[in-house]
Amino acid sequence: MEDFLRACQSAVLDNAAKSLAAKMGVPHVSLLQRANPDNDAHHLTIEHLFGILLHTGDLRPLIALANEFGFDLVAKEAPAPKALTTSMIGVGKEVADLTIAVHDALEDSHISSSEKAEILTEIGHVRESLSVMEVSVKAA
């Protein structure tokens, strides 16, 4: 928790606290007090944290929070949009590949570890194709 609180304070102090406070609609001194973990009365709300992340782009608090729970924060790259027909064909192909992988695995009424791995790989491909479809629809 200490690392998270210090990361919040650092994000405020390292990103022009006065202008950050103005963007967040809170008094400058109030933001500094709320972000200071050494202040016994500090109360940084989730709305404040969101504002800090949004207006600074400083993800240290989020990284520290993820680390506290044993996770790594990894940026997700958005796929490039394609023509709707092209992205729909991609989704259909990946769903068909997944269907084939599941049918092949069920053929002998036993799913081996390699068959599980193949199915999980195909599920990942379906997700990727759906992501392409989603950005393609938004871009259309």
Report domain extents, the chain: 2-68, 84-139
What per-residue confidence (pLDDT) applies to 43? 86
Which two three-digit tokens encode residue 73?
């924060």
What per-residue confidence (pLDDT) applies to 33? 93
> Cα-Cα-Cα-Cα dihedral of 100, 106, 108, 109, to 10°?
180
Q: Which residues, 6 or more positions from 80, have their beta carbon under 8 angstroms from its beta carbon?
A: 132, 135
Distance CA 44, CA 64 (A): 15
pTM tops 0.85: no
What per-residue confidence (pLDDT) applies to 76? 83
CA atoms within 13 A on the CB side of 98: 16
What per-residue confidence (pLDDT) applies to 1? 86
Per-residue pLDDT tens, the chain, 140 aa: give them: 889 999 999 999 999 999 999 999 999 999 999 999 998 888 889 999 999 999 999 999 999 999 999 999 988 888 999 999 999 999 999 999 999 999 999 999 999 999 999 999 999 999 999 999 999 999 99
126 CB neighbour count, 10 Å cutoff? 18
What per-residue confidence (pLDDT) applies to 40? 86
What per-residue confidence (pLDDT) applies to 77? 87
